[in-house]
A and B are shown apart, each in its own frame.
Chain A
Amino acid sequence: MQLGELQNQIARFERRGVSVIALSVDEQAASLAMIERLGLSFDLGSDPQQAIVKAFGVQNPDTRELAIHAVYIVAADGEIFYRKVGRRRPVSAELIDAIDSFRGVYPKTNEQIEPRRRINVAFPENNFQALITVVGITELPETVDPIEFSRIYSIRKKGSLDDSLVAFKTLTRSSVDAGQQDLYDTAAWLTRLLFFQDIPEALEAGRLLNRRLARVRELEALLEANQSSDRKDELLHTLAQARAGLSLTRAEISNNADAWNLRSAKTTLRSYREVAGASVNVRAALVSVPEDAQ
């Protein structure tokens, strides 16, 4: 269940008088960032000690800090009539079917389905952005402990992304001198080491993409400023050439996307950035709590 997709169809739940509660081990400050990004209108509950997770028996066997992805629907008397634990995540339509079937009105054919809504995708949105970001970082920020960093690196090398994310969260908490940008840079450096250490041609393509993109933007700005000058035709010509070069580099990167594992790199970078962003929010929230309230 993607929460953004659920939000998109929330009116169908409301029409049926069905409430939605989403639970995670997140601190509230971290959840707030997501509520804002996805525009969520249903309740997000925080279960950091996993009391509810344990009561439902949905702890993650690999990473005890987390729950398995699970969806339950209970009737008004608290009795479960639908569950989906782990494996393929259900979409809203399936939950609606389960609810209608429970009420004996399945299938409901005359209901309007909400159109797809574009959701703000977290950075990086695509392979190109990910590659450019990764290429832009050439060392670990000084504010971050290199020993702790190499521990995360080896956890991820051995396997679990989730485990390494937990370790990264610990690092973002303990590196108190590192600001948001430092933590984002750490995420990028980590992704670079994990994915591109042995693929210099990917890094080279990323650098070229960055240069050509900058050139196109520069020429576009120049053209904008010279709309009525006699340099206009010459600029148009140069811009066309620059755009052609940019397309070539993009094509080369797209053709190598599988070989360079770009999709996975993009997702990894995004996950680490989200942890970094959330940690900064949590820190800010902790700082803003007066001492006598703790």
Chain B
Amino acid sequence: MHMKELKLKLPLACAFICLLQISTIVAGAEDELIPRYKPSSRSAQPIDIRTNAYGASRDAPAALSIGERVADFTVPRAGGGVVSLSDARDRGPVAIIFYRGHW
């Protein structure tokens, strides 16, 4: 290997290592930007809320998981008319809440 070539490659290698380090730091910073909550009041640590483990329940092992697609539904709406998931999806994301109700 010629000396001249080495001189040229050394700064390049340094730059590459520096870039690697920077990207690790950035990844570390991204790691901090994950929304974390405790799954239950007895949980020891807050965990990433975007994972299936976070929202899983022993009482509902077959509950739909993250990444699965929800089938559209249309149900009667309190106050008249219907509520349709596909209509709501046309406007963007949809939060679907199952609550106990009063019966």
Which A residues are within 8 Å of any B CB, using their own CB? 1, 3, 6, 13, 16-28, 30-35, 43-47, 51-53, 55-62, 66-88, 90, 94-95, 97-102, 106-107, 162, 165-166, 169, 274-275, 277-279
Is B75 a contact partner of A46 (Cβ separation < 8 A)? yes
Is B76 a contact partner of A76 (Cβ separation < 8 A)? no
- Give chain B residues whose Cβ lies under 8 Å from the Cβ of A79: 67-70
A61 and B78 in contact, given A20-B97, A72-B64, A88-B41 (Cβ under 8 angstroms): no
Is A72 a contact partner of B95 (Cβ separation < 8 A)? yes
Q: How far is the CA of A21 from the CA of B90 in the complex (A)?
A: 14
Contact of B57 among A24, A62, A87, A166 (CB under 8 A): A87
Contact indicator per residue, chain B 55-81, by CB within 8 Å of chain A (1) or not (0):
111111111111111111101111100
Is B78 a contact partner of A68 (Cβ separation < 8 A)? no
Which B residues are within 8 Å of any A CB, using their own CB? 33-35, 37-41, 49-50, 52, 54-73, 75-79, 83, 85, 88-103
Would you list 25 pairs from A and B whose C-beta atoms are within 8 A, ordered by A residue? A17-B92, A19-B93, A22-B97, A22-B99, A23-B97, A24-B99, A27-B103, A28-B78, A30-B101, A33-B102, A43-B78, A47-B75, A57-B61, A59-B60, A71-B98, A72-B70, A72-B95, A72-B96, A72-B97, A83-B55, A83-B64, A94-B35, A97-B49, A102-B93, A277-B102
Contact of A21 among B55, B61, B94 (CB under 8 A): B94
Given A23-B98, A101-B50; 19 other pairs, CB 8 A cutoff:
A1-B97, A19-B91, A19-B92, A21-B83, A28-B76, A30-B103, A31-B79, A32-B79, A43-B77, A46-B76, A52-B73, A56-B64, A68-B60, A80-B67, A82-B66, A88-B39, A98-B50, A166-B103, A169-B103
Shortest Cβ gap from A226 to chain B (Å): 45
- Give chain A residues whose Cβ lies under 8 Å from the Cβ of B68: 79-80
- Give chain A residues whose Cβ lies under 8 Å from the Cβ of B71: 55, 78
Shortest Cβ gap from B46 to chain A (Å): 11
A74 and B96 in contact, given A45-B76, A83-B63 (Cβ under 8 angstroms): yes
- Give chain A residues whose Cβ lies under 8 Å from the Cβ of B33: 101, 106-107
A75 and B93 in contact, given A81-B50, A86-B57, A90-B37 (Cβ under 8 angstroms): yes
Interface centre among B35, B100, B101 (most CB of A within 10 A): B101
- Give chain B residues whose Cβ lies under 8 Å from the Cβ of A95: 95
Is B94 a contact partner of A20 (Cβ separation < 8 A)? yes
Q: How far is the CA of A41 from the CA of B40 in the complex (A)?
A: 29
Q: How far is the CA of A26 from the CA of B64 in the complex (A)?
A: 22
Is A101 a contact partner of B57 (Cβ separation < 8 A)? no
Contact of A86 among B59, B62, B76, B92 (CB under 8 A): B59
A35 and B79 in contact, given A85-B56, A94-B37, A98-B35 (Cβ under 8 angstroms): yes
Contact of A69 among B83, B88, B98 (CB under 8 A): B98
